[in-house]
């Protein structure tokens, strides 16, 4: 195995058929549903690497007196093989009896699905937060149940501070003509139907990276940006003061993957939110939104789907190294293939 140097930290002994990356540190910036599918692929691609997933927490919401962290829970359940495969969030074999009882009492909101098994997670998290533990300590505690190998896989909230994504929509009856709703209300109750006039990350200015986040990025041998929602999943992580700077400064190659394929998000509602931040709903626009590191952005490489190969010249002209491949995450092996392909081409 040739000596690993930082010029090519991912140097594989490419002669060995089962080239393994050992003692390699990988940091992933991710959201929830798409992000967790991506991370399962990263684990498949680099089984011996030490993985730190920096997870968006701006989706978090307080309901029924409980602190709910959808993206952290989706990542945790998914990597712990407890996720409901159809929904992509929440627990497998879930029941909804407590939620139905709350509705029977007329307790609002009833539009946010609270599963009985999932409730235990929110109860533990809320108790620990109320006892003064930071969200990162709570996450570590919850993960001891779900993630067997904590020194090879760690979930970090982007921050321990309270940050919430709120979406500004038209409200004809309001004096200002607009109102802000929590992202969960925009997505789960309103199905992202209203035009998004603005997307706010409430509290982001005062937020600080959670313990370990900056080190995970600066000490990484590879940083990956998951094909998560650029506005409400990757966006908030990059907006926590200090995180974008650390990504720009890291010696590791930074490779991003597009969640927009043929002008639409594979999952979720990014197409309803990208216009609010002035970014077209296409794989090139999102890559240029993140920007090449040479131009002050965060990416060394950008991976788009084969159906968007026609966008490659535009990315090349803008100075962003980009490649196209099959980006459909049909299973961890498929995801693993496109990750390795993208990393190899984007770091050569």
Interacting residue ranges for ligand FO1, rule: CB under 6 A: 31-33, 59, 68, 70, 73-74, 89-90, 112-113, 118, 184, 187-188, 268
At 329, list the tokens: 């995450």
> Closer to ligand FO1 at the Cβ: 112 or 133?
112
> Closer to ligand FO1 at the Cβ: 33 or 129?
33
* Residue closest to ligand FO1, measured at CB: 113
CB of 199 to ligand FO1, least distance (A): 13
> Closer to ligand FO1 at the Cβ: 10 or 270?
270
CB-based contacts of 323: which residues, under 8 Å, 6+ apart? 301, 302, 303, 304, 312, 341, 342, 345, 346
CB of 163 to ligand FO1, least distance (A): 13
SS3 assignment for 193-226: CCCCCEEEEECCCCCCECCCHHHHHHCCCEEEEC
Q: How many helices (H) and strands (E) does the chain have?
A: 13, 14
Distance CA 122, CA 104 (A): 21
At 345, list the tokens: 């081409």
Q: Which among 167, 156, 145 has a CA at the least distance from the CA of 220?
A: 156
CB of 35 to ligand FO1, least distance (A): 8
- SS3 label, residue 152: coil
> Closer to ligand FO1 at the Cβ: 113 or 203?
113
CB of 340 to ligand FO1, least distance (A): 26
CB of 228 to ligand FO1, least distance (A): 8
Question: Please, are residues 15 and 62 in contact by the beta-carbon 8 Å criterion?
Answer: no
> Closer to ligand FO1 at the Cβ: 53 or 68?
68
């Amino acid at each position: 195995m040739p000596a690993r140097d930082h010029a090519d930290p991912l140097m594989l002994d490419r002669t060995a058929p089962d080239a393994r990356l050992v003692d390699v540190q990988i940091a992933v910036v991710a959201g929830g549903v798409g992000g967790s599918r991506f991370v399962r692929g990263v684990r498949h691609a680099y089984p011996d690497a030490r993985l730190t997933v920096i997870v968006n927490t701006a989706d978090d919401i307080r309901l029924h007196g409980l602190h709910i962290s959808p993206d952290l829970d989706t990542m945790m359940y998914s990597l712990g093989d407890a996720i409901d495969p159809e929904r992509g969030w929440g627990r497998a074999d879930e029941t909804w009896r407590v939620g139905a009882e709350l509705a029977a009492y007329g307790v609002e909101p009833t539009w946010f699905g609270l599963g009985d098994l999932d409730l235990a997670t929110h109860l533990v998290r809320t108790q620990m937060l109320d006892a003064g533990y930071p969200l990162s300590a709570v996450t570590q505690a919850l993960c001891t149940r779900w993630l067997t190998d904590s020194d090879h896989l760690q979930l970090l909230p982007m921050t321990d501070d309270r940050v919430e994504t709120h979406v500004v929509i038209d409200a004809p009856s309001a004096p200002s003509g607009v109102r802000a709703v929590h992202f969960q209300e925009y997505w789960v109750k309103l199905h992202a139907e209203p035009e998004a006039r603005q997307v706010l990350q409430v509290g982001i200015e005062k937020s600080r990276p959670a313990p370990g986040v900056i080190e995970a990025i600066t000490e990484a041998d590879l940083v990956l940006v998951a094909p998560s929602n650029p506005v409400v999943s990757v966006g908030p992580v990059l907006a926590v003061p200090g995180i974008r700077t650390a990504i720009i400064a890291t010696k590791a190659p930074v490779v991003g993957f597009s969640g927009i394929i043929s002008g639409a998000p594979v999952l979720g509602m990014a197409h309803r939110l990208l216009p609010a931040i002035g970014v077209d709903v296409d794989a090139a626009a999102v890559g240029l939104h993140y920007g090449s590191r040479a131009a002050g952005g965060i990416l060394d490489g950008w991976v788009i789907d084969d159906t968007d190969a026609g966008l490659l010249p535009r990315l090349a002209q803008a100075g962003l190294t980009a490649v196209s491949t099959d980006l459909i995450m049909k299973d961890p092996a498929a995801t693993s293939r496109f990750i390795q392909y993208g990393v190899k081409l984007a770091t050569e």
